A and B are shown apart, each in its own frame.
Chain A
Amino acid sequence: MSALPEQRPGQRREQAEFVRRRRAIFTGLLTRLDRDAAVQALALWQAEFSTRPVFALHDFLGRVCQDMGLRVRRGELHRALVGALSLDEAELAPDPGDANGLAGSGDHSPGSAGALPAGARTVFEAVYHAFMTQAEGSGVDTGVRVRVMRRLVGLGLSPAALKSLSGWVAGEASGLPEGLTLDTLRGLLHLAYLSACEELGPVSADRLLAAAVREVENGAVAADYHPRGLL
């Protein structure tokens, strides 16, 4: 179970296309924003817009301009992004993923793209553990675990991070790997929810998640970081 799930050819193509689009968006952002702002905006794109159709670029621009106070520059930013999306691969900026802690995930809330908020990691482990304990009570913990592992690739992590996270999900490594971002943790919890939906149905999955969050909310670890921040 601990072996890293192999990617099918279709998945590899999807991953390559994802990285190419991420580089293109990053290239476009860099023409108008400084590097930190571009990384932050890219994290937003990755978290909420990367799986949406092409016209969602307008929504993405709207969010970036609103969050960063760039409304007057929306037009030029739009032109830059559209231009970058049509560039050849050789003209694109290097993939910023691993070097910036993005590693296939991102988030728009402050601090989430890089450093993990204090206490978030401990709270995540508590919520995930409570969720899996609930799943075990329903007799679906193995099924949930297997489905989560199959989906880990979708988090867009580097191969090394993917391997160590896969070991943790399988229960072979005791500690959660270092260097994960808040959005990766959110993504992982969402994968557990999705898997529970498939195993038990959505109503039961909602209840499992609600029960797990409430259990942690009532514990001491919630004083450092609110569990609902992981949802």
Chain B
Amino acid sequence: MNPCQNPALARFLVMALCLCASPVALAGEAVPEPWMPALDTVWLAVAAALVFFMQAGFALLESGMSRAKNAVNVVMKNYVDVCLGSLAFWLVGYGLMFGFNPTGWFGQSHFALFGAEDSDYMMLLFQTMFAATAVTIASGAMAERTRYQAYLLGAVLITAIIYPVFGSWAWGGGHGGDGWLAALGFIDFAGSTVVHSIGGWVALAGVLVLGPRLGRYSMDGEQRPIQGHNLTQVALGGFILWVGWFGFNGGSTGGADVSIGLINLNTHLSAAAGAAGALLILAVLRRPVLLTTTVNGSIGGLVGITAGAATMDPHFAVLTGLVSGMVVVVGTWLLESLGLDDVVGAVSVHGLAGAWGTLAAGLFLAGDLFNPMQVAVQVIGILAGFLWAFPAALLMYFIIDKTVGLRASTRDEQRGLDFSEHHEVGYPEFQTEVLHEGRK
């Protein structure tokens, strides 16, 4: 249809053109009052969709790094933890995280939100996507030996309690009051610690309770690498996560803002530097350059910049990403040497790189570089995140293990969890190493 024949469409296109072509002018000049909330909402809705798209990235990356006999199980965990986690966050988590927070420790209103302002609904949608991201981090680390129902029970508790309680400390107070970390001046723009480190520490707890996959380490500690079944899928997952991160960080402005340019530039540069950092340290250590490590390096860069994307200059974003990539490689090596089996490297990518990124946000704060007070606050925030999420998740998974059972039986591990948990297989026409055709 020709826009000239449709005035409404023409107005929309002109508006869209203005928004795309001259955001600086829009932000610099006085914007008509009715437009701005709508514009903020549109941007947040787009950003929320981008963050949701990250779930596809996680699913591809995690299933690609797992064996074919567990592919359906990994994807199902990613798919269903978003579904159940979203409901849990709407019912309980959002209120705990963003409700009226008089003590600084947890919110006390806005549970099962209804009858609220439009902006609250937008905020809930956007934050639900963040909660879904935090919860899905553990699934990759715990892949290939975790019982499906037990994992989902954990996912619900994470989105309902573990994630939002810490979130209320750092980001709480949206409806009155203030989180105690926020009151100290803790900087975590989009959640290096709030989302990623918390997810990483939960993953670490899960990995510890579960133990390694069958035969992953020999009795004398020798490592047996278990290659993923589809590395192109891993790379595609990495790209999708990268794209989604533009919504993750860019949307954390809370609305349409000219600062999104710097934020997303920092995001991109840090991701690129993360991959470069991983490659660099692999070269220095004379280790083989692996696709999985490279992808994890770039994701480490994305995680690392998430805390300071809005508050540091691009050259520091590059430095943050570079170190993040190295942290990912060294962290993975460290965990392996301790006999821990993190299938996708989630603990180092999200936990350790998130901690480093949070520290970097304090170190490289534009206009106030290397302020020791700010750095101290950042360290307090990092430690608080670990000391809350790790023990809480450890206790949670321990109780789940002792009651409903967290670890799949060895026979189920042999058959593959696709068979034992889902009655179907991922690639029925091509899976030559799988010895069943799904449970009848």
Contacts and interface: CB of A to CB of B under 8 A. Distances in A.
B289 interface: no
The size bracket of the interface on A is: 20 to 34
Contact of B213 (A194, A202, A209): A202
Contact of B410 (A52, A194, A210, A228): A194
Contacts of B404: 53, 55-56
B339 to A, nearest CB: 14
A193 B410 CA distance: 10
B232 interface: no
A203 B436 contact: no
A54 interface: yes
Contacts of A52: 405, 409
A67 interface: no
A138 to B, nearest CB: 13
Contact of B436 (A51, A200, A231): A231
A198 interface: yes
Contacts of B216: 201-202
Contacts of A203: 67, 224, 226-227
A140 to B, nearest CB: 11
Interface string B197-232: 000000000000000011110110000101100000
B6 interface: no
A84 interface: no
A70 interface: no
A228 B405 contact: no
Nearest to A212: B435
A213 B435 CA distance: 8
Contact of B214 (A48, A54, A55, A197): A197
A193 B414 contact: yes
B411 interface: yes
A35 interface: no
A194 B403 contact: no
B432 interface: yes
Contact of A202 (B219, B226, B403): B226
Contact of B402 (A48, A53, A205): A53
A205 B69 CA distance: 14
Contacts of B213: 202
A231 B227 CA distance: 23
Contact of B403 (A53, A186, A209, A231): A53
A190 B436 CA distance: 15
B74 to A, nearest CB: 16
Contacts of A48: 409
A172 interface: no
Contacts of A201: 215-216, 218, 224, 226
B324 to A, nearest CB: 30
Contacts of A202: 213-216, 224, 226
Contacts of A56: 404-405
The size bracket of the interface on B is: 20 to 34
A48 B415 CA distance: 13
Nearest to B227: A203
Interface in A182-209: 186, 190, 193-194, 196-203, 205-207, 209
A190 B414 CA distance: 8
B138 to A, nearest CB: 20
B118 interface: no
Interface string A210-221: 100100000000
Given A202-B224, A203-B226, A53 B401 contact: yes
Contacts of A228: 435-436
User: Which secondary structure dominates chain B's binding surface?
Assistant: loop
B73 to A, nearest CB: 16
B29 interface: no
A210 B405 contact: no
Contacts of B429: none
| Most chain A CB within a 10 A radius of its CB, from B405, B409, B432, B434 | B405
Nearest to A190: B411
B150 to A, nearest CB: 10
Given A197-B215, A202-B216, A51 B409 contact: yes
Contacts of A207: 433
Interface in B398-440: 401-405, 409-411, 414-415, 432-436
Given A51-B409, A55-B404, A190-B414, A198 B218 contact: yes
Contacts of A231: 414-415, 435-436
A198 B215 contact: yes
A199 B224 CA distance: 10
A53 B150 CA distance: 12
A75 B435 CA distance: 37
Contacts of B415: 231
| Most chain A CB within a 10 A radius of its CB, from B216, B402, B410 | B410
Interface string B362-375: 00000000000000
Interface string B102-146: 000000000000000000000000000000000000000000000
A200 B215 contact: yes
Contacts of A210: 432-435
Nearest to A186: B411
A209 B404 CA distance: 30
Interface string A26-63: 00000000000000000000001001111110000000
26 contacts: A51-B409, A52-B409, A53-B401, A53-B402, A54-B403, A55-B404, A186-B411, A190-B410, A193-B414, A194-B410, A194-B414, A196-B215, A197-B214, A198-B218, A198-B219, A199-B218, A200-B215, A201-B226, A202-B213, A202-B214, A202-B216, A203-B227, A206-B69, A210-B433, A231-B414, A231-B415
Given A206-B67, A209-B414, 9 more contacts: A53-B401, A193-B414, A199-B218, A201-B218, A201-B226, A205-B215, A207-B433, A213-B435, A231-B415
